Amino acid sequence: MTIVVGFTPSGQGMAALAAAVREARRSRDALVIASHTYHHSEHGPAVAGEEETRSALAEVGGEDVDWSLRRSGDQEDVGEFLLSAAAESSARLLVIGLRRKSPIGKLNLGAAARRVVLGADIPVLAVKDETPSGALAS
């Protein structure tokens, strides 16, 4: 079986990757790392490549996990991209990261997270960013 994880090099992306690695180890499933477009502070729109993903896996201790990378197109909707990655890989679980929000902001999921949670036909594991707000650029 397969686990799909939404990934960007951000606090929420790293939290999702760490949770997906733990689950993949426990279940012995392969990971499909769905690297979607994010805003890079110096280069504008960007998508993490293989080297950046390998480095992130090392950071969360996931070097030994079987994984593959799927990169989104520049204009592709994040929610749709994650749902299609899950469908195409016959995933049993989809892992996403959420930003920490203020008490009022917690009433509202982001648009992509809402689309994934409401549109997925498999379980979705949503994990929150463990880094303080603003510590990592996203």
Domain coordinates in residue numbering, the chain: 25-128
**Superfamily covering domain 25-128:** HUPs (3.40.50.620)
Contact 85, 70 (CB under 8 A): yes
Between 132 and 75, whose confidence is greater? 75
- d(C-alpha 84, C-alpha 15), whole Å: 21
Residues 6+ apart with CB under 8 A from 53: 7, 33, 35, 67, 69
Q: Residue 113's pLDDT is what? A: 86
pLDDT at 136 over 50: no
**pTM of the model as a whole:** 0.86
Strand partners, 128: 98
Q: What integer is the mean pLDDT of 44-65?
A: 93
Q: What is the DSSP letter of 132?
A: P
Assign 69 to helix, strand or coil.
Answer: strand
The proportion of the chain whose per-residue pLDDT surpasses 70, expressed as a percent, equals 86
Contact 11, 130 (CB under 8 A): yes
Model confidence pLDDT, tens digit, residues 83-135: 999 999 999 999 999 876 655 444 456 788 888 999 999 999 999 887 655 44
The chain-wide mean pLDDT, for the chain, equals 87
Q: Report the alpha-carbon angle 42-113-63, nearest 5.
A: 65
